[in-house]
A and B are shown apart, each in its own frame.
Chain A
Amino acid sequence: MKRTRSGGDEEAPRQNGSAGGRRGEQQPQSDGDNGGCDFGPADLPDDDNDPGLRREIRSKYRDLINSVQQNREDMLSPSNNKLTEVLEEANKLFKDVRQAREAALDAQLLVVATDLGKEKATQLFAEGNTFDPTAFAEHLLSFMGLNRLEDGEDEQPNGDVVDGYLPKDAWHRLARRAECCFRTAPSFHYMMGSFHAEPPPPKQRIERQRKAPSKEAKRIMPTQLKKMEDSQQEATEKEVERILGYLKSYYQDDPTSPISYYEFVIDPSSFSRTVENIFHTSFLIRDGLARMYLDNAKLPCIAPVEEGEVEAGGSQSRKQCIVSVSPKIWKELIDAFDITDTMIHPPNTQTE
């Protein structure tokens, strides 16, 4: 009785499906890629192409598949009729299946349901004694010498079902008894033992390789930094101070005669030195250590600011201007001012 029922669970809906005339006709088409395309318009109701309805059917199928997968264990119990209900439900849904996507879902449900049916069927096959893994485990524990009386609290503090503890040789004991079930070839061992075929761990080499580059990196980094400071900021500051020194000494030589700005910065032998001088001199102006003004002939002149005047000059409103110079202008200026020698000697020649 039971067996026939489980068989019926699997097959009945499929038979119903092919018995219905419409469904039998549609099934081969919905298997193909273009299911639903070659339906004659005459024998189809309009809702066949209604996307909302299609979606609803697919959603119901998915729910059904989900419910089978979620409740699998419950449905396996022999007294549970859920599988029949699911298949009846699917049968109802299948009435409205028109397109390949829905048919695919129907097929998927069939796979899931069949798998479940198969498992239910195997339960029924067991004649005589059924086998219960839980009971088996209990018997094994006894065989392995489980001590059920003593408290095994410190054995597995977070274990779930721990009562009693197993002796250390529990699995050895079981293995020894189970040995007779195996016709295992005894494994062969060298009388004197064998050497370990594994290569020694290449730990050291790795460490060495790692250390070497890190040392180099350390060596390089600081020297680079020093050079940067030297060449960039400090050099500029030194040069600015040096030029201020020149300016002050020329001023002190003759405080009454103004120092022409162009005569001061232009190096007739080098255009690039001229540009550098203009650049460094601009720092003096910015920091308020020197000031520029136009003389009677409207030519720019430069003079150092006296110590006491520095503060006052800082608070004055400042004017900004851009000094531009090109090699052509530079040559014209040299001719115009008749400059023969530089007033600011380049640092290396000056030291000689």
Chain B
Amino acid sequence: MTQRKRLSNTQSSTQNREEDDDTTFTQPSTSQVQRGLEKVTPAQVDQKTAEVVQYFLVKDQKKMPVRRADIVKHVVKEYRNIYPEIMKRAAHTFDQVFGLKLVEIDAKSHTYILINKLETTDGASPINSPANPKMGLLFVILSVIFMKEGVVKENVIWNTLKKLRVDPGKKHEDFGDVKKVVTDEFVRQRYLEYVRIPHTEPVEHEFRWGQRAEIEVSKARILEFMGELHGLEPQSWSQQYREAHPASNTQPGTSSQR
């Protein structure tokens, strides 16, 4: 046991310190994985990989990020010594079979999400699935934050929503408890960050983009839509335009979409 710990500490020193309930799990070293793979049949590894893939897909239905600790605890279990191999294969399956990308959004707590690898087409999606109205709500909030340089007082958001006939204090036809959707659901999905501003009386919060939004949402596309709405060129918001096109090539909406 002690030897194993020492081994793993020296070999993969970067990611061995775990927080909270992840403490029981230490990332196995490459050599450990090699030795572990010798003890199981390829079919067993495939089986575990398939289980992890399914776990992710089901978890993704609600867009909640998946933590490594949960994968190990609920799915990988006694195969934890070959965990890196299983994750590698799962990521490969998502990439090749589903056209999705497995992204680690938080290297500290080892949290993962799935995003779409395929470039979205302009206009309506080819799949005729019913649109989720919450995406519209999320879009409004993310846009305001983005256009306001990344941070926005909650009041600005609530006031904007009120103008759109969405009152955070009342039940909404499409969203139900708006305040809860925005400050709880979107936050847990990591679309938004909702942080208390220190030294405010009464207590005030501010919104930022969450880790998922940074990866999943295209600032360039938002700016395009913004221009469309206002009847302006996206370039007229120079600050935002530069942020949306960090490679600073002036072609909108081509290579550098994030």
CA distance A181 to B142 in the complex (A): 11
Q: Establish whether residues B239 and A128, one from each chain, have CB atoms under 8 Å apart when the complex forms.
A: yes
User: A residues touching B (Cβ–Cβ < 8 Å)?
Assistant: 69, 108, 111-112, 115, 122, 125-129, 131, 133-141, 143-144, 156, 159-162, 166, 171-189
Known contacts A122-B149, A136-B160, A179 near B63 by CB under 8 Å: no
Report which of A144, A156, A172 forms a contact with B131, defined as CB distance below 8 A.
A172
Q: How many residues on B have C-beta within 8 angstroms of the other chain's C-beta atoms?
A: 66
Cβ-defined contact, B136 with A171, below 8 A: yes
- Interface core residue of B125, B131, B201 (most chain A CB under 10 Å): B131
Across the interface, do A136 and B222 meet the contact criterion of CB distance under 8 Å? no
For the complex formed, measure the closest distance between the CB of A58 and the CB atoms of chain B, giving whole angstroms: 17
- What total count of A-B pairs have CB within 8 Å? 150
Q: Which residue of the partner chain, among A126, A135, A183, A189, contacts B216 with CB atoms under 8 Å?
A: A183
Measured CA separation A125–B138 after assembly (Å): 26
Can you pick out 10 interface pairs between chain A and chain B where the beta carbons lie within 8 Å of each other? A127-B238, A131-B148, A137-B164, A166-B165, A174-B133, A175-B133, A175-B139, A180-B122, A184-B116, A185-B98
Closest to A168 in B: B173
Question: Which residue of chain A lies nearest to B166 when distances are taken between CB atoms in the complex?
Answer: A171
Given A181-B218, A185-B114, A129-B133 contact (CB < 8 Å): no
Quick one: closest B residue to A166, CB to CB? Answer: B165
Are the CB atoms of B58 and A188 closer together than 8 Å?
yes
In the complex, A133→B159 CA distance in Å?
9
Given contacts A178-B135, A183-B115, A185-B115, contact A129 B232 (CB under 8 A): yes
Which residues of B are found within 8 Å of A141, using beta-carbon distances? 163-164
Contact (A179, B125) CB under 8 Å given A131-B237, A166-B165, A171-B136:
yes
Task: Decide if A185 touches B144 in the complex (CB within 8 Å).
Answer: no
Partner of B199, one of A115, A127, A184: A115
When chains A and B are docked, how far (Å) is the Cα of A128 from the Cα of B239? 8
Of B61, B120, B164, B236, the residue contacting A179 (CB under 8 A) is B120
Contacts of A180 in B (CB 8 A): 120-123, 125, 218, 221
Within 8 Å of chain A (Cβ to Cβ): is B147?
yes
Please report the C-alpha to C-alpha distance between residue A184 and residue B63 in the assembled complex, in whole angstroms: 9
Residue among B58, B124, B165 with max Cβ neighbours from chain A (10 Å): B165
Is B108 at the interface (CB under 8 A from chain A)?
no
Given contacts A129-B236, A173-B131, A182-B218, 14 further A-B contacts (CB under 8 A): A111-B199, A128-B239, A133-B156, A136-B144, A162-B165, A171-B136, A172-B131, A172-B133, A175-B132, A175-B136, A180-B125, A181-B139, A182-B135, A185-B115
Residues of B within 8 A of A172 (CB): 130-131, 133, 136, 174
Give the chain B neighbours of A162 by CB distance below 8 A: 165
Docked Cα-Cα span, A135 to B160, in Å, equals 10
Contact of A184 among B164, B165, B216, B221 (CB under 8 A): B216
Tell me whether B198 is interfacial, beta carbon within 8 Å. Answer: yes
CB-CB under 8 A from A122, the residues of chain B are 149
Interface residues of B in 137-163 (CB under 8 A from A): 137-140, 143-144, 147-149, 156, 159-160, 162-163
Bound complex: CA A156 to CA B162 (Å): 12
| Contact indicator A140/B100 (Cβ below 8 Å) | no
In Å, the complex CA distance between A144 and B136 comes to 10
Closest partner residue, chain B, to A126 (CB atom): B239
Q: Does the CB pair B163–A174 fall under 8 Å?
A: no
Question: Cβ of A139: which chain B residues have Cβ within 8 Å of it?
Answer: 229-230
Q: Is B71 an interface residue (CB 8 A)?
A: no
Which residues from A are CB-within-8-Å of B216? 182-184
The 10 A-B residue pairs with the shortest CB-CB distance in the complex, in nearest-first order = A178-B139, A174-B136, A175-B136, A171-B133, A137-B163, A131-B147, A181-B221, A175-B131, A139-B229, A128-B238
Residues of A within 8 A of B100 (CB): 185
Q: Does B22 contact A (CB under 8 A)?
A: no
A115–B165 CA distance with the chains assembled, in angstroms: 31
Tell me if B14 is interfacial: C-beta within 8 Å of chain A.
Answer: no
